[in-house]
A and B are shown apart, each in its own frame.
Chain A
């Protein structure tokens, strides 16, 4: 990608890393949350559901600001993390966290729908054959929900690639640290003569989004074929 300048390339690489880490790190929690919302009846279920969906309906700037209020260097939790060397504010890990929070509702929704489509009677049958809850999940529920998980992960990845409002509010726009692809496009558009760079990044955005979509379609179709056994 020689046609990308070093600054532009840096933003692309950072965005890919942020989105991949955000997706991979939130996937286990997303699987668990989706399963809990789909299968368990517990007090506070509606509250959890609301919390998960909050980033989807709040202005991203508000989500970013709330993250700053709780995890910023001067906030109580943030200060503790900082003293442990795990601070996230104004670092790329913070950008990944903001992206993960913003993408979480999309991921959980897709996975939850696919879990709700699994017949609990199959899980019962597995239990009568000697599978503990954990084994039922890994041998029946998980394979049957694979298409939904793939869809949820790709959706989350695409959302994380494009996340702007919460990121710039929480971790600012530091080149090499937190200047992700959308932040870079925004920054290039602020300076005279930056349109060419911005346009190249826009092209990269479109390419990555299309590639992710194509990959997910392919994976989901493969998984669905396996599941339906045709």
Chain B
């Protein structure tokens, strides 16, 4: 699957002018609220007619304003998951799930249905009405409904934005399963670095209607020069393998030969994980720290300093576990005399790495 989008559209308050190619896997449209991400997704879904556009999936043109090609939304075969779920209130959960195949008069596949229902853990809800579901359950049903319509591409428009943190960590593993097991390619709109870090293979950063950067997730999110959704979102992504679980609830992972300890992980040994380490959770020390409560210490070397607008500086480091970012004050940089080439130690507080920052699979 590859999606190619080139789009120009003027809306009150924003002029959209974007072009990008989404390779197979999960492509995240990442940027602050109001940057035009959803408008891009809606153009792919065919929910409005753009001023100028060329949109194609696998070479199949969905919309080309030059030639006047226009495929109406119901003939695009894209599974859309909206922020608010948009379940049909007059149908049961089962009726919602089978809607796509029913309206297209395609024959249902009981095995496929059972697999998706089991994957999303919604077997007990089938007879219920949407009004009787919790927010998280509703969103899982919405994901299942889109998936069971057998889409060639899933479009997810901030599917977790309306949920609280606990519900988010409830749903993210399901999205990872869809990415890894079902193999359905996705275009994922989000303004959350955690979600993007966990799910995306490719990130397209959109700001004020323009694409400002495209690239692999680790490279884009770990770029200190880029703070797309506010500076608290800057962070590096480490790829690691689960080594063992300890009795005290900690999990030991191996990142490039370095052992790190995390909390709140329940996947088996050998599982590949990606861990986002937010730059504001990293402390720097010139000497190997002793007598500190933090469990993870990594030796490293400063590669670059990126001063921010305020009092902060994002320090880029090279460590055996991979590149890391630390967000510290300008005053600390001066006091420690940090400069490219300086050797130092990065300290990570184990509990600062939230479950929503730890994703499974690649």
Contacts and interface: CB of A to CB of B under 8 A. Distances in A.
Interface string B40-74: 00000111000000000000000000000000111
A74 interface: no
Given A127-B46, A129-B99, A143-B90, 15 more contacts: A126-B88, A128-B46, A128-B73, A128-B76, A129-B74, A129-B100, A130-B149, A131-B74, A131-B99, A133-B74, A135-B103, A139-B99, A139-B102, A226-B90, A230-B131
B47 A124 contact: yes
B127 to A, nearest CB: 11
Interface in A99-114: none
B99 A126 contact: yes
A44 B75 CA distance: 31
Interface residues of A, number: 24
Nearest to A130: B104
Nearest to B48: A124
A139 B90 CA distance: 10
24 contacts: A119-B86, A121-B86, A124-B73, A125-B86, A126-B103, A127-B47, A127-B74, A128-B73, A128-B78, A128-B146, A129-B103, A129-B146, A132-B72, A132-B74, A136-B74, A139-B99, A139-B102, A226-B90, A227-B90, A228-B129, A229-B92, A229-B129, A229-B132, A230-B131
A140 interface: yes
A13 interface: no
Determine the interface band of chain B, counting residues with CB < 8 A from chain A.
Answer: 20 to 34
B89 A227 contact: yes
A132 B80 CA distance: 16
Contacts of A131: 74, 99, 103-104
A229 B90 contact: yes
Contact of B74 (A130, A143, A144, A226): A130
Contact of A122 (B86, B102, B103, B129): B86
Contacts of A121: 82, 84, 86
Interface in B85-116: 86, 88-90, 92, 99-100, 102-104
A228 B72 contact: no
Interface of B: 45-47, 72-80, 82, 84, 86, 88-90, 92, 99-100, 102-104, 129-132, 145-146, 149
Name A's interface SS.
helix
B86 A130 contact: no
Contacts of B46: 127-128
A207 B204 CA distance: 68
A139 B88 CA distance: 10
A121 B131 CA distance: 17
Most buried by B among A127, A128, A144: A128
A139 B89 contact: no
Nearest to A138: B103
